[in-house]
Amino acid sequence: MILPPDKSAVEKARAVRRRLLSVLGSQAGQQVLNELESRFEVDLPVFQGRRGEYDPLDAMRRDAHREVFLVIRRQLELAKQESTHTSNNEQDDET
């Protein structure tokens, strides 16, 4: 049995995305996000060092850092899509 989505949970998620977009959606917010990504080296492979000689805790840390930025980027994408969708619906309502 598939349950319908919890509307309050959906609205809460959308509110979080809107807040992220309002803070990080600007040019300055994007610069901050880019600087943090650079600082935490999320573009590097998780496994660093010579083959067979890597620190699993370091790999875990890198993977965790990467995941945080992937979540933020995805939420920003969704917020932009939702704001575009809302704007398009408002324009349709006016015609």
pLDDT for the residue numbered 89: 66
C-alpha distance from residue 25 to each of 20, 32, 34 (Å): 7, 10, 12
Closest-CA residue to 36 (of 59, 68, 61, 60): 68
Q: How is the chain split into domains, by residue range? A: 19-90
Tokens of 68: 């945080």
Tens of pLDDT, residue by residue, the chain (95 residues): 787 778 899 899 999 999 999 999 999 999 999 999 999 988 888 888 777 788 889 889 999 999 999 999 999 999 999 988 876 666 555 55
- With residue 77 as reference, give the H or E element that holds it: helix 56-94
Place of tokens 């935490």: 40
pTM to 2 decimal places: 0.74
Provide the angle, in degrees to the nearest 10, between the axes of the packed helices 7-24 and 56-94: 100
